[in-house]
Amino acid sequence: MRGSRLLNIFLVVFIDLLGFGLILPLLPYFAGQYGASPFLIGLLVASYAAAQFIGAPLMGRLSDRFGRRPVLVLSIAGTALGFLLLGLAEPLGKALASFVLSSPTPEQSQTLQYGAILGVMFISRVLSGLTGGNITVAQAYIADVTDAQNRAKGLGLIGAAFGLGFILGPAIGGALSTFGYAVPALAAAGLATLNLIGVIVLLPESLSEERKAELAKQERRALISFAGMMEELRKPRIGPLMTIRFFYALAAALFQTMFTLWAKDRLGLNAQTTSYLLAYVGLLSVIVQGGLIGRLTKRFSEAQLIAWCVVIQAVSLLAWAFTPSVPVLLVVLVPIAFSTGVLNTVINSAITRAVPPHEVGGALGTSSALESLSRIISPLVGGWLLGTVGAWAPGVVGAGIMTGVSVFVWRRPPISPEPLPVSPEVS
């Protein structure tokens, strides 16, 4: 029974990430054809993360109260609508612009149309971000149906689904973009719709009615609370993990959000080639999170894996900063994908075991919110660094951040050796 549930949630995440991967590497090119500057493209990327900063903990806490399945339905429906708006941004934008001026000049017409199209793009990304708690809820679902011993392996399925989505998504998106950048967005909307149907038909709820009632009594915090997030950062068991999560995500987001613009500026690559490179990163992620993570967690402790992977990430981001060619880049991406895959899985696994069961959804939501906060900051800072300092600057800054994280981890191990106290109410 547990195996079928894990397979179902794997398919949910895979299809979700497949759709996301279709448009991720193409978004800068898509917005750029309507006159968006690099800074405006950074704002577009950051708008999704800003909305997800609010939406991720909200979805996590809603899933604690009402169950994982209904919140997944809500989240995926919002994702489908967001992709649909993105795919229809041009006709919708032109229709909106026609209501502003009755007889515009050609210059006014183009300016209005481009502005309206970009406005629809922003709306689509904000909507997708607000409802984009799919991964958070999927992680909580896995925590519901696995024990502590197998949780890291179960969460590794999320990473494997992520990697598979980014093998096929960017490659398919790059191929579809030859027919226009709107086509991958519409294809992503179709995939999200299929995903929605699959959740409704195939995915059982992981929380029983009794368990939901129990969690509702125990979890009295507001659905979303910035004070609550700060409170978790101050907790001795989970605070260090959240701190590492944020600063690691900040450095990783500099790489992820700037990679397309970096590839275009530093190496002169087009949308299709960049998409294929991201597919290669996805393949590496599948190898790490689908095949290696289970063996690694059996041989090494989570504290050891975190300590070594933050160092690997620092060194590999520095190497990325000065990569001169595609062949060298293919080598540099290996340690980046390895350390990213391990850290994403192990940190979230440690978080689920550092809090009582009734706080798992909220804790993972806070973790996702911190990652979203990093994706607000990184596109803006990274875009400025790339445009004013040089293409090497985001990698150097990311390496500097990870060096600080390395010092923090090695001086203060983030995982307490003491078992989590279990209250009578939870047991």
Q: How confident is residue 213, by pLDDT bands cut at 50, 70 and 90?
A: low
Q: What is the pLDDT of residue 122?
A: 94
The mean per-residue pLDDT over the stretch 272-290 comes to 82
- What is the spatial distance between Cα 2 and Cα 328, in angstroms, rounded to a whole number? 42
The first and second tokens of residue 47, run together, are 């708008």
Q: What is the mean pLDDT of residues 370-389?
A: 84
The number of residues in the chain equals: 427
pLDDT, one tens digit per residue, over 18-75 is 887 888 788 888 888 888 877 788 888 888 888 887 887 788 778 878 888 888 899 8
8 Å CB contact between 179 and 22: no
- Please report how many Cα atoms fall inside a 13 Å half-sphere around the Cα of residue 246, on the Cβ side: 18
Per the CB < 8 A criterion, the answer to whether 345 and 364 are in contact is no
How far from 241 is each of 142, 209, 332, CA to CA, in Å?
Answer: 19, 31, 27
Confidence bin at 229 (pLDDT 50/70/90): low
Q: What's the confidence (pLDDT) of residue 368?
A: 73
pTM: 0.73
Selected residue with higher pLDDT from 323 and 131: 323
Which class in CATH covers the domain with range 2-411?
mainly alpha
Question: Cα dihedral angle (281, 270, 80, 43), rounded to 10 degrees?
Answer: 100
What pLDDT is attached to residue 6? 76
* Angle between helical axes of 360-384 and 326-353 (0-180°, round to 10): 150
Per-residue confidence (pLDDT) for residue 425, from 0 to 100 = 41
Residue 101: predicted pLDDT: 64
CA nearest 131: which of 59, 200, 62? 59
* Highest mean pLDDT of the ranges 158-167, 211-220, 232-241, 310-319: 310-319
**What are the tens digits of pLDDT across the range 258-279?**
898 888 888 988 888 888 888 8
Q: Per residue in 88-118, is it b (16+ CB within 10 Å) or e — as a string?
A: bbbebbbebbeeeeeeeeeeebeebbbebbb
27: tokens are: 């978004």
Residue 205 DSSP code = P
pLDDT at 125 over 60: yes
Q: Lowest mean pLDDT of 126-130, 207-211, 258-262, 290-294, name the range.
A: 207-211
Closest Cα partner for 20 from 86, 94, 115?
Answer: 86
The tens digit of pLDDT for each residue in 137-147 reads 887 788 777 77
Of 32-36, 148-152, 198-202, least confident by mean pLDDT is 148-152
The residue among 154, 196, 203 whose CA lies nearest residue 348 is 154
Which of 9-13, 91-95, 107-111 shows the highest mean pLDDT?
91-95
Radius of gyration of the chain (CA): 21
Residue 141 one-letter amino acid: Y
Q: Which residue has the higher pLDDT, 71 or 223?
A: 71
What pLDDT, on a 0 to 100 scale, did the predictor assign at position 168?
85
Give the CA-trace dihedral at 136, 139, 144, 149, to 10 degrees. Answer: -150
- Span 387-395, mean pLDDT? 88
- Which tops the pLDDT comparison, 182 or 217? 182
Stretch 242-263: mean pLDDT, rounded? 89
Domain boundaries, the chain: 2-411
CA-nearest of 294, 284, 363 to 331 is: 284
Residue 188 backbone phi and psi in degrees, to 5: -65, -40
**pLDDT tier at 209, thresholds 50, 70, 90:** low
What's the rounded Cα separation, in Å, for the pair 26 and 256?
13
Q: Retrieve residue 414's tokens.
A: 């983030």
